[in-house]
Chains A and B, each alone.
Chain A
């Protein structure tokens, strides 16, 4: 069983073209973490409930633990590393810091990736909208309240940055 035929798969990750040779059973999450070293995508349950592994596939949030890497052929993938970093943080990353939207930080990449897509479609959300948007992402530390505040604050920051 360990000698499964390897498959080539080509996609872009955070704007960079990548071609990987993967086993057909390799999940997208494992390919991103193990093959590409993008360890910001976290694995919390491997059955699609917790949302920690959320990445954007052609702009839409998906559970990278439930996709095989080979299914992402030709797609544009965005991981937390492509959202922003300490030098040029995304407004969500700034807002999570300002509003204490994280404790241990393990769910945070999935939360931020999910919310980055959500805020594009809902630039002026209510807190109820935000709760709905993150209802598929589990956080064991914060009780969600400061994540909701962070999302609303990020919406303000994004709005304020518009010309």
Chain B
């Protein structure tokens, strides 16, 4: 199938590159982001944050701050312990760890909030923060995750007598047999640094109490979980918490912060005024959330022909002070460790380790960029060992299109995809043979010119039953979403969702989907921007995560729309004396199948539903409103026997092949990207223009992770990248012009055949860039296993290789 690039003026609307509805307000600067909301009497909050990585809090004296003119409320850990319960973890562990919104007994990372102030303006609140005297007793900081396991200098949480919050081994297939039969074994240690998407809008919250309870405005991308955490912490009924998400200036998994919400709620209650808090960029880099740094030891067994027989993996995730949802990286990495290969036997030993760093959490693709980095680096190493090209090794191991749907040893079911076709499309687009000639010429001229290839799956949606396997808890399972579709009396439609957009363009793509279902123009469909827990349909798993929109959310939208459609046809049949099965809806009218003229306008039926109540079919409820809560039918419960831990962790699988063409400057170690080719397949594309935009953005995120971004801590746990001067994001000059080609293999598992997009580019890009840089340095024989590939690191590797050359 080919992807559409022009818009027609009739349906079907799904598949058309419709320009976005939300752009009119956003390009005019007329969006409403959290910081744009003002209300009468609103105060502004500032936090005092810990300068220590690990310190006992001996005493806090906030008297001077409280006395400062303009200050309305000050809270410290003592107040928090008295007024709240610990914030519930998203994934409750059996062990109890007190997770309060402010440091209570000790501070556990640089940047942890220790006190909070509400004042007439932010500057006054910051003045007050400077007046708070905290007596700290510094403790040894736990920084290195291996050290945290083996010889911990101290305990991050004394309660659990260890810094290992989770350790388990999962084994599938005959692993020992695979290694016994192996002709070749490849082994190495790989690592990835902490990095993060840094949405350009930092995280903010506004809180206000009134007789109906607490209302919060916050760009929270997973409102379902946030409200649950609040009710636990504040001990008020769930029904008295209302959460409103306005426009969100980028999410990428990072935009969720129950701790900020609890702090703001406490300040607003103490001051009896609305209170706003917004992170500054330093606070955002120090304390919102980090993607964890991870280390993995891999052993890959292959037969003499280069067929992969099995994997042994030992993995450590540095969770920082994360007790909200540890194991997230471990699980999402491990269960997808096949990438797109048929690997019959896998053993994974995982550690999730607490350290004195910012808590780790969700970030675009969670764990899978590193999964792909490890596997695609290992594939390159294996190809050398086997003595065949790495393209050939990939071809021999890809899950063939004919094997779909394919069940992995871990229990994931790959729905669709032709990985060979994706790779070949990328190679053809890149003119691969020509690239090889260019490389030959460049090398002859003494230039370091590299071609790097990586292929990847992009898993979609997340079956929350997975946590049963990780934590043993059995109170969360499956995955779903809510949608509300209401056709008004004039035939126009309003839709609201449990999910919130943070740039994905739901106001446009949801209108396209609903327009097709209800036979109207997308301009007649208004999708409510943002989220309001008092209005929108939502579940605890509602929100934007795990690429779940294209399958799970679309299911909810389509089911709600089809309920309305059925009702419209029944009412139309009743009004015209026809049978509902004879009728259809298109162009905003009711038609008899095959007729040349419409039977009656859609608006006539809609108006009847709202005002001509006695002419409705007997037993038919008035109105045209449907609220649907959808459970993704691909999610299942885990097999909980000791020997069988298979589960469908993720539910459908997009895929891609990336080719990065780079050149290394041997004098500086800097990497220049000459070309970047992407072939990708996310099934049926709902809006190809938006899909391609997400591919560009996600790949750029991966380029940042591969080359620039590093949330680096020193040996004392001090954060060294607290500004955009130190934490380097790719600019327009660092990113190449992407050459993107789309394949469309529809998923048999989702209502529209669509699969996830948005995380995809971030997954293979680390590996593609690294494979390319290593290839560029091939004349020097450099091996790259650690990210990011900063000029320093590459320069060092070059010097080391040259030194060895000289010695030899």
A residues engaging B (CB < 8 A)?
1-3, 23, 25-26, 33-34, 37-47, 49-50, 52, 79-81, 84-86, 89, 92-93, 96-98, 100, 102-109, 112, 127, 130-132, 134-148
CB within 8 Å for A135 and B724 given contacts A39-B29, A108-B27: no
A143:B33 contact, CB within 8 angstroms: no
> What's the least CB distance linking A6 to chain B, in Å?
12
B residues engaging A (CB < 8 A)?
19-20, 22-33, 35-36, 38, 68-70, 119-120, 123-124, 127, 197-202, 247-252, 280-281, 502-505, 689-690, 692-694, 696-701, 723-725, 729, 731-733, 735, 737-738
Residue of A nearest to B694 (CB): A103
Residue of A nearest to B125 (CB): A2
Alpha-carbon distance A135/B729, docked complex (angstroms): 11
Contacting B123 at CB < 8 Å: which of A23, A96, A107, A109? A23
CB within 8 Å for A141 and B697 given contacts A104-B502, A106-B249, A135-B732: yes
A105:B247 contact, CB within 8 angstroms: yes
Alpha-carbon distance A97/B127, docked complex (angstroms): 42
A97:B20 contact, CB within 8 angstroms: yes
Alpha-carbon distance A68/B729, docked complex (angstroms): 26
Alpha-carbon distance A143/B281, docked complex (angstroms): 21
A146:B200 contact, CB within 8 angstroms: no
B28:A86 contact, CB within 8 angstroms: yes
Contacts of A89 in B (CB 8 A): 24, 27-28
A47:B252 contact, CB within 8 angstroms: no
Contacts of A43 in B (CB 8 A): 35
With A25-B123, A140-B729 given, name 20 new contacts (CB 8 A).
Answer: A39-B29, A39-B33, A81-B28, A84-B28, A96-B23, A103-B697, A104-B248, A104-B250, A104-B502, A105-B25, A108-B27, A109-B27, A109-B29, A137-B732, A138-B729, A140-B199, A141-B697, A144-B732, A147-B732, A148-B732
Total residue contacts A-B, CB cutoff 8 A: 189
Alpha-carbon distance A141/B762, docked complex (angstroms): 12
A108:B732 contact, CB within 8 angstroms: no
Contacts of A45 in B (CB 8 A): 281, 723-724
A145:B738 contact, CB within 8 angstroms: yes
B198:A140 contact, CB within 8 angstroms: yes
Residue of A nearest to B248 (CB): A104
Contacts of A148 in B (CB 8 A): 732, 737
Alpha-carbon distance A112/B700, docked complex (angstroms): 21
Contacts of B723 in A (CB 8 A): 45, 47, 49
Alpha-carbon distance A159/B252, docked complex (angstroms): 37
Contacting B737 at CB < 8 Å: which of A97, A103, A107, A127? A127
Contacts of A147 in B (CB 8 A): 732
Alpha-carbon distance A47/B283, docked complex (angstroms): 13
> What's the least CB distance linking B757 to chain A, in Å?
12
Contacts of B503 in A (CB 8 A): 102-105, 141
Contacts of B700 in A (CB 8 A): 142-144
Alpha-carbon distance A148/B735, docked complex (angstroms): 12
Alpha-carbon distance A61/B119, docked complex (angstroms): 33
Contacts of B729 in A (CB 8 A): 138, 140
> What's the least CB distance linking B702 to chain A, in Å?
10
Residue of A102, A106, A143, A147 with most partner-chain B CB within 10 A: A143
Residue of B nearest to A106 (CB): B249
CB within 8 Å for A105 and B249 given contacts A45-B723, A49-B725, A81-B29: yes
Residue of A nearest to B502 (CB): A104
Contacting A44 at CB < 8 Å: which of B31, B38, B281? B281
B689:A100 contact, CB within 8 angstroms: yes
Alpha-carbon distance A100/B621, docked complex (angstroms): 42
> What's the least CB distance linking B353 to chain A, in Å?
29
Contacts of B36 in A (CB 8 A): 33, 39
Contacts of A85 in B (CB 8 A): 28, 30
Residue of B26, B119, B124, B505 with most partner-chain A CB within 10 A: B26
Alpha-carbon distance A39/B25, docked complex (angstroms): 12
Alpha-carbon distance A72/B384, docked complex (angstroms): 63
Contacting A104 at CB < 8 Å: which of B24, B69, B201, B735? B201
Contacts of B504 in A (CB 8 A): 103
A143:B731 contact, CB within 8 angstroms: no
> What's the least CB distance linking B474 to chain A, in Å?
37
